[in-house]
Every structure is written in C-alpha cells, then in structure tokens.
Amino acid sequence: MIMVIRGSKLIQILVFYLIGLHCMEMALTGAVPCMDSEQDALLKIKEGFKDVSEPFSSWTAEEDCCNWRGVGCDNTTGHVTMLDLHSRDPTSKLPGEVSPSLLDLPYLRSLDLSLNHFQQTLIPEFICSLKYIEHLNLSNANFRGTIPSSLGNLSHLKSLDLSGNGLFYLRAENLSWVYGLSSLEVLALGGVEISNAEDWLDAVNMLPSLVELRLFFCNLHKLPQNLHHVNFTTLKILDLSLNNFSSTIPDWLFDIGHSLVYLNLSRCQLHGVIPNAFGNLTSLISLDLSDNNLEGPIPLTLGLFQEQGERNRSSSLRKLYLSSNGLNGSLARSLAQFSQLAVLDVARNYMKGSIKEAHLQKFSSLRVLDLSSNRLALKVSSNWTPPFQLETIGLRSCLLGPKFPQWLRSQNNFSAIDISNASIVDVVPDWFWNLSSRIMYMNLSFNKLKGHVPDFSSQHQLSELDLTGNNFSSPLPRFSANTRILFLAKNSFFGHISNLCRILSINNSLNYLDLSSNNLWGEIPDCWKYGHNLIALNLANNNLSGQIPNSTGQLIRLNTLRLENNILSGEVPLSLKTCTELAAFHLANNRLLGNVPTWIGENLQKLKFLSLCSNSFSGNIPRQLCQLQFLNYLNLSSNSLSGAIPPCTFPGMMTAYFDTNPDMSYPYMAYSDSVKLTFSSREFIRYSKFYHGQLFFNVLDLSSNNLSGRIPTEVMSLDGLIFLNLSRNHLVGPIPPNIEMPNLEALDLSRNYLSCTMPSSISSLTFLSLLDISNNNLSGKIPLSTQLQSFSGQAFIGNPQLCGPPLSDNCSSNESFGDPHCSIEEGDDEKQGIQKQEQHDFKIPSFYLSIGLGFIVGYCGFWGSLLLNKSWRYSYFRFLGNMNDKIYVMVAAGAAKLKRKFQHQQAPK
C-alpha cells in the first residue's frame, strides 16, 4: 500500500521533473521538441527521395526535427504540422516516391511535394487520409493517372494544387469530389485532363470561399453561358486559358462582382464581342483575352474611370492583353481610357488609325506597349519626348517611317524592341545602338535600314537579333557568347566567311544562325567544333567556294543545313553522317560531285527535305534513300544521275502520313522561302500548302538526269505528292496504270521514251493544273476527262501516235493494244520499299496542335534555355511570355517527358 503511494509520488516527482526539463527546453528553444515517432516517420519519408541535398542536408539526428529545413511543428504540442519538400532544383531532380509514413504525421496541415519526380505514379490514396490537411501542393511532381476522388474527404482543405503534372497525364472523370471541399480557397488543376467534367462549373459553384481558380489547359470545351446564382463571389484569380470553349464570353463572369483581380481567358477560342460589362469588374487589375476570335471594337467601358456616385475613381486596370483577335475600330479613340495602364498589348488585330503625341501624353506608367501587326501609324514629331520609359516596345508593321523614329532616343531602359516591317528608310543613328545595355531582343527586320552595324560583343544580354531584309552593309559584326538567335539574312554583309569564327567562338550559345543572301565569300571555315548548340545554319545565296569542311560533322544538334546557291565543290563530307538530327538538307545549285551518299539514307533518319539539285552528282540513286521515313521533299534534278529509279514508297509522301515531329516546325518552315521547282524549264514557287497547320509540301523531282528503265509503279501511288517531275531522262515503258495521287497539281514526264497508251487512271488527277507529257512515244487515244482536255495540245505534242482531243489528230486505228512492252511486270522481289504507314491516330486535338502545342513543341529545342530565360521572355511578346510561363508550370522538370510523349505519338509503328 505504502509502496504504492510512494511509487505514485515518485512518478509524480518524475513527471514534475520531466515537465520541468521540458519547460527548460521550451524556454531555451522557444518550442516543444518534436516527437520521436514523428521524427522516425520523417526519416522514412526522406528514404523515399534518392536526392539527399536540399532540404534533407539539415536533417540530422542531433538537431530537433522541428528545426529541420522544410519541417514545421505546432509550438505548443510539438506535432509536425508542415512539411515542405518541394525540390529546390527541379531541373536535376532525382526520382523519388511518396512514403506511407506520411500517415504517421497525423497532424499535418500543410504538405508541399511540388517540383519532384514521382516517376509517373498515381497520387497515393493514403494522402486522402491526412484528415487535418489544409494545404496540399502536388504540382509539377510527375504524377499521372486518375485523381483519387477521396481527396473530397479532406474537408479542411484550403488549397489544392495539382497543376503541371505533364499535359493531361492526370485526369478526372468529373469534379463531383470537389463538392465537399467547402473551405477551399485555392484550386489549381492546370494541365489536368477534365474534358468529361461537364459539371465543372457547378462543382466550382459549391465552393463559396474560393479565391483562386486555375483550370488552364484542362481540355475543357464547355463554358456554360448562364449560372443561376454565382456563389464564389470572393474569387480574385480566375485562369481558364488554353481550353477550347468555342463560345462567347459568359455573363456569369460579371456576377462575381467587385472581387475579381486577375482574369485570364486567353486561347479559349472565344468569339463575339467584348461585353461592356467588363466595366463593372471594378477591381480588375489584369485582363488577358489574347489569342481568341473576338471581334468588334474595344468597349468604351474597359479601363474607363468609374463613376462612383459623386466622385470619379481611377480604374484599377493596369494590364490589358488583347492581342491576336479580330478587334477593329479606331485605337486612338480607345486610348483616352487606358492612360493608367502599365501594359497595353493589342498586337495582331485590325485596329486602325493614326496615333499622335496627344493620345499618349498621359501614359506615364506605361512599361509594355505592343501595337504590332495592326493598321496603325505612329505620327509624332521628331522632338517628341514621351512621358513613359518602355521596357518592351512592340511596333512591328506599324507605320513609323520613313525617318528613323527619333523619340526612341528617350527610351533607354528597354529590353525588347520590335520595329520590323515599319517602313523605315533611313540610316540607323549611332545613338540607337548605344541606347540600352539591357537589350535582350531586337528585331529591325524588313525595313530599308542602312549604315554600319556596330560591335555587339559587349551586349551580354542580347539573346536574339533579327536584322533580316535591310540594306546593312558592313563586315560581320561580333557578338557576345550569349547570343542564341542571329538573323542577318538578306542584307549586304560582306567579307570573308571566316569572320564567322568570331561569332562561333568558344562557349557560344548560338542556336540559329542565318547569314543567307549576303555578299560573303571564301571557303567555309573549319570552326564548327564550337557549333554543338546550332539547330539551324543557313549560309545560302552567298559566294562561298571550296569544300564543305569535315568539321560540319560536329553540328550534332543541327536540324536545318542550307548551303544552296553558292559555288561549293568537291564531295559531301562523310563526317556529316553524324548530324542525325538533320531534317532539312539543302545543297542545290553548287558544284558538288561524286555519288549521292548512301549514308544520307542510312543515317539521316529524320530527314524531311533533301535537295541536291543542280550539282554534278553521278552514279545511281541509292536505294538507301527509301529508308527515309519522314522524307516529303526530294529533289535530285539537274545532275548526271543514271540507272533506274528505286521503287521507294516514302511514307512521308503519303497523305495518310501526318508527321508532327516537334523539333522541326520552326527552322523547317524557314526553307520554304527559297524552294523553286522547275516545270518545263519555268520556275514555280507556289507549291506549298498547309495541312493541319503543318507545312504540306510533298515533292519528287528527279528531272534532267540520265535515269533509265521504267517508272516504278510505287511512284504512282505516293498519294500525298503535289509535284512530280521525272522529265528529261531516258525512261521507257508505259506510264504505270495505278495512278493514285489525288493531291497532284503538277505532273511532268516530258522528254523521255515512254510508250504505250496513257492509262485511264490519269483522268483521276482532278487537281492537276500543270501537265507535260510531251516528247515521248505515247500512243493511242488521250483518256477523256474534264481535266485532261482542258490543257493545250502543247502538253501532249511530240508523241506522233497520240491522238484525240485536245490534239487535232482524231484517232484512226493506230492504237497499240497487246504490245508486250506495255504490260507491267511486278517483280515483287525487287521491292523492298517501306510499307505504307497506317493512319496515325494523333490524340492531341488539332486546336492544341496548331496554336498550343505547335508552339510549345517548336521551342522544345531550346527548352533548357527557355526555363532559364523565363524572366525576359516573360517581359516581352505576351504570346511567348505567357506560354513560357505555362510551359514552366507544366513541365518545369518534365520537359524531356513531354518531348518523349510527342516522339512516342509520332513514332512510326
């Protein structure tokens, strides 16, 4: 009994002692220490991460776990309540996994696992048992699969961020699980596929505390126009951009009332006019309606000083993005209401009128002005001093000239300027080149600018310079090693091409270099060992001579190589076979000789465009070319090639085949400007079409060689061809009867030894607008069709035995039925051509292809730099800036993954 009392006393003393210790510790550290069980749980969670750098480096047993980086405790109970494990360096993060030991932190209120790499695993269901959780951030963490709907059990949740786990890798059938989250203030699902969630707005309407809603790029296509009663009247941030709604701007937006601060509806396929009711959103600071199909004028209520009873109040609007719509009307008239703006972007609309000094006199806060590509003129006097200091100047295709705009002299803080195509015919004054040391982007292209171009080597920020299409006459300038894009084409830059090595110096960052159409001469220098960043190189239309140097083989990222229209000689160096990224290879009009290299077919597997025309290549056309899966332009004309035409079935020349190879869109387009096709000795440049937003340019030209034998039947079923020219060879036999080329617009088979009757299938060529089969040995009656008889007799002459309209010879009896030479022997063993591709079921909707992904994808090539350069891109070209921000969110660490996704989708079966 006594013992028992004593015992309990002892315990009491012990307890008091312990509490005393505890209090001492609290007094020392100011907090209750962390619990052993929770410390153990944290260490198990750490084991799930292979990466032990930040924040884990501070996680040592000696230190109280509440003091570990990224861990937060309740300072009265000692329970871990906050765990922030977001990756500090998302570009180099290692794969990890989410440990179920999280459940041993039962009082967790905030969990941030963003920017990690959870290896495409599902969001673990056990997260939904963290019942006190208030903040859950699983963004950019490489999760995939269906979002567990038991997230809806987390009734304390205030913010939920699942954005950026790759494009549509995460999905939800509906949003009914959101209904229960009545405390939710932030919901971010950017990039989550919720296309079936017709109920999305109803679900959102159950969240009366919502402050921030981000549903960009969710593949939504329903934007309800009416909502009976708007519940979320405290909403401040609404981002629905990058969804294809195909609707007008809905009325319920304006019922949100006075809380809305940031609204982004860009790239939503919205049409109709901009409603006047925008004037009612009195707290709105940033409005983005860019890249839609909106029409009509800018409403007069937008940005207007609001009448508030007696007093006038300045509108809150500071940033207005309306670019790439169909807006019209006079901009000058709207300007009065925008003088408080910091950002005004109305680029790429149909706004018109002259803007004078008086219109801009009150714009003292303006930082970003983009009026590009409208029908606007800026008419200011030469001594005008604007009230603003711009950071971004976008005046592309505005009428600024003919004198160089003197007011720019007052602007010495800009980082981006585009005054291209602005009708300026003048010498660039020296002060302009010295204006801004912050310059990152400069585009002066397509004016008639003259004068000397200075040394840019101290412009360390300059990343992109475009001087294309002016009259600059100077030796090649120097540049800093940070320059990534350099377009100096179509000027009069002169001198020895070896000056190029000053640009291509050690550690350079150059991705795109275009020096075409200048007066450069000499042998291409051998400094390509520093060209490993180059994606496109264009030296066409100069006077370059000598051999193509072996070191061009070090251009391992090169996607476009254009050397056409020079006087290059010798053979194509074998070393180029290492340039396996090449998509466009253009060597036309030089003095190159030797065989057409077999390694082109064997190694350059991404080739889409190959032109070797007008050189002195000899020997056979190598059969290896048939291996080029993506080839859709092949021009070997005007050489001395002999032997038979190989029976290739180029998948790239089939309509069924639709390649969207991501890395290529940008430079690949760039060659089309100089592609000339010859048809009966006349030049045609018009054969290019866009198909699903992609260049569609399927050409086979083998004319003016010494090719012999029959036309392979395979050629006649390249059903995507637009232009087929086999003229001026020694081809014999019949025209194969299996003509299946519904897209063909030009067919030239003239000046061969083709015989027999014309196949009747030739009348299926309904788009044919150019035809020449003259000067052969064809015989019999010309098949009847609306198309064939519409050509003049010239198309058929020189075939003495051919008869019928449009020729004047009426057919008598000189037909050649039964001629053994006219049968088509199949020779199956001869054919090792590639089988026709099956139609690809490309899953991304064309909407994203043409304007969304098409863009992202086009820039995959310099993904890394994009991320690094986010800040400056952000500041300029809304279009780019905006996208980059999204891209950053989407794939900050998963770029390679996104790329792989596309490669996967377009990889041949």
Ligand X SMILES: *[C@@H]1O[C@H](CO)[C@@H](O)[C@H](O)[C@H]1NC(C)=O
Tell me the closest approach of the beta carbon of residue 896 to ligand X, in angstroms: 19
Report the half-sphere exposure of 118 (CA within 13 A, side-chain side).
26
Amino acid identity, position 532: H
Separation CA 895–CA 865 (nearest Å): 12
Q: Which is nearer to ligand X, 203 or 707 (CB)?
A: 203
Closest to ligand X by CB, 172 vs 351, is 172
In angstroms, the CA 739 to CA 760 distance is 9
Report the residue number whose CB is nearest to ligand X: 847
Cβ 142 vs Cβ 894: under 8 Å: yes
Under the binding rule (CB under 6 A), the answer on residue 173 touching ligand X is: yes
* Pick 307 or 430: Cβ nearer ligand X: 307
| Under rule CB under 6 A, residue 616 binds ligand X | no
- Shortest distance (Å) from residue 89 CB to ligand X: 12
Q: Which of 153, 248, 498, 785 binds ligand X (CB under 6 A)?
A: 153
Enclosing H/E stretch for 200 = helix 200-204
- Considering the complex, state which of residue 114 and residue 589 has its C-beta at the smaller distance from ligand X: 114
**Which residues on adjacent β-strands are paired with residue 560?**
536, 584
State which residue, 112 or 719, has the beta carbon closest to ligand X.
Answer: 112
Instruction: Find the part of the chain contacting ligand X (CB under 6 A) among 228-236, 335-343, 712-720, 764-772.
Output: 228-236
In DSSP terms, which residues pair with 520 in a beta bridge?
Answer: 495
- With CB under 6 A as the contact rule, the residue among 144, 171, 221, 375 that binds ligand X is 221
Residue whose CB is less far from ligand X, 34 or 631: 34
Give the shortest CB-573-to-ligand X separation in angstroms: 6
CB of 628 to ligand X, least distance (A): 23
Q: Phi and psi of 213, rounded to 5°?
A: -130, 120
**Contact (Cβ atoms closer than 8 angstroms) between residue 430 and residue 403:** no
- What's the min distance (Å) between Cβ of 205 and ligand X? 4
Token pair in block for residue 473: 């006459």
Sign of the Cα torsion 174, 176, 177, 183 reads positive
Residues 99-118 that bind ligand X (CB under 6 A): 114-115
Distance from C-alpha of 854 to C-alpha of 660, rounded to nearest angstrom: 9
**Which of the stretches 3-11, 146-154, 683-691, 817-825 binds ligand X when contact is defined by CB under 6 A?**
146-154
Report if residue 909 touches ligand X, rule: CB under 6 A: no
Least CB distance from residue 27 to ligand X, whole Å?
9
Binding residue for ligand X, selected from 39, 81, 101, 137, defined by CB under 6 A? 137
Q: Which of 35, 105, 108, 128 binds ligand X (CB under 6 A)?
A: 128
Name which of residues 838 to 857 contact ligand X (CB under 6 A).
845-847
User: How much is the CA Rg of the chain, to the nearest whole Å?
Assistant: 34
Tell me the number of residues near ligand X by CB under 6 A. 43
**Token pair of 356, please?**
């004078």
3-state SS, 210-252, equals: CCEEECCCCCCCCCCCCCCCCCCCCCCEEECCCCCCCCCCCHH
Stretch that binds ligand X, among 148-156, 327-335, 404-412, 429-437 (CB under 6 A): 148-156
Token code pair at residue 23: 């209090």
Q: With contact defined as beta carbons under 8 Å apart, do 116 and 87 qualify?
A: yes
Residue 599 tokens read as 């390694």
Q: Which of 492, 519, 550, 794 binds ligand X (CB under 6 A)?
A: 550
895 φ/ψ angles, rounded to the nearest 5 degrees = -60, -45
- By CB under 6 A, residue 574 contacts ligand X: yes
DSSP-assigned states of every residue in 126-152: GGGG-TT--EEE-TTS-B-EEPPGGGG
| Cβ distance to ligand X smaller for residue 139 or 750 | 139
What contacts 345, CB < 8 A, 6 or more positions away?
Answer: 290, 320, 321, 322, 323, 368, 369, 370, 394, 878
Q: Residue 726, Cα to own-chain centre: how many angstroms?
A: 37
Q: Which two tokens stand for residue 430?
A: 């020296």
Q: What is the DSSP string of 777-818?
A: EEEEEPPP-TTGGGS-GGGTTT-TEEESTTSSPPP-S---TT
Least spacing, CB of residue 758 vs ligand X, in Å = 41
Compose the 54-93 pattern: x for residues touching ligand X by CB under 6 A, - for all others.
Answer: ---------------------x----------x-------
Q: Is 125 in the site for ligand X (CB under 6 A)?
A: yes
Q: How far is the CB of 683 from ligand X (least distance, A)?
A: 34
Least gap, CB of 28 to ligand X (angstroms) = 11
Assess 603 for contact with ligand X (CB under 6 A). Answer: no
The yes or no reply on residue 233 touching ligand X (CB under 6 A) is no
> How far, in Å, CA of 333 to CA of 139, rounded?
44
Sole binder of ligand X in the list 104, 161, 239, 466 (CB under 6 A):
161
- Output 115 or 768, the one with its CB closest to ligand X: 115
Could you tell me the smallest distance in angstroms from the CB atom of residue 694 to ligand X? 14
Name the 3-class secondary structure at 254.
Answer: helix
Per-residue binder mask for ligand X (CB under 6 A), 248-277, x = binder: ------x--------------x-------x
Q: Give least dist CB 257 to ligand X, A.
A: 8
137 vs 698, beta carbon nearer ligand X: 137
State which residue, 256 or 476, has the beta carbon closest to ligand X.
256
- What's the full length of the chain, in residues? 909
Q: How far is the CB of 22 from ligand X (least distance, A)?
A: 13
The answer to whether 30 contacts ligand X (rule: CB under 6 A) is yes
How many Å apart are CA 1 and CA 7, to the nearest integer? 10
Is residue 594 involved in binding ligand X (CB under 6 A)? no
Cis peptide bond upstream of 148, omega within 30:
no
Residue 595 CB contacts under 8 Å (≥ 6 apart), including other chains: 617, 618, 619, 620, 622
Answer yes or no whether residue 228 interacts with ligand X by CB under 6 A: yes
Among 67, 120, 121, 174, binds ligand X (CB under 6 A): 174
- Quick one: how far is CA 851 from the chain centroid? 8
Region near ligand X per CB under 6 A, out of 201-209, 345-353, 417-425, 777-785: 201-209
Q: How far apart are CA 695 and CA 211, in angstroms?
A: 44
CB of 640 to ligand X, least distance (A): 23
Which range of residues in 224-232, 409-417, 516-524, 590-598 is near ligand X by CB under 6 A? 224-232
Per CB under 6 A, the segment of 147-155, 399-407, 447-455, 753-761 that binds ligand X is 147-155
Alpha helices in 253-292 (DSSP H): none
Query: Closest separation between CB of residue 203 and ligand X, Å?
Result: 9
Decide: is 208 part of the binding site for ligand X (CB under 6 A).
Answer: yes
Helix (H) or strand (E) holding 620: strand 616-620
- Residues between 806 and 825 with contacts to ligand X, criterion CB under 6 A: none
In the complex, minimum distance from the CB of residue 649 to ligand X, in angstroms, rounded to a whole number: 31
Alpha carbon distance 17, 13 (integer Å): 6
Q: Compute the 3-state secondary structure of the chain and give helix, strand, coil in percent, each to the nearest 5.
A: 25, 20, 55
Among 48, 329, 573, 693, binds ligand X (CB under 6 A): 573
Does 205 help bind ligand X (rule: CB under 6 A)? yes
Displacement of CA 782 from its chain's centroid (Å)? 49
Nearest distance, CB of residue 329 and ligand X, angstroms: 21
Q: CA distances (Å), 746 to each of 520, 705, 749, in order?
A: 36, 19, 10
Query: Which residues contribute to the site for ligand X (CB under 6 A)?
Result: 30-31, 75, 86, 114-115, 125, 128-129, 137, 139, 149-150, 153, 159, 161, 173-174, 176, 182, 186, 188, 205-206, 208, 221, 228-229, 231, 244, 246, 254, 269, 277, 280, 547, 549-550, 573-574, 845-847
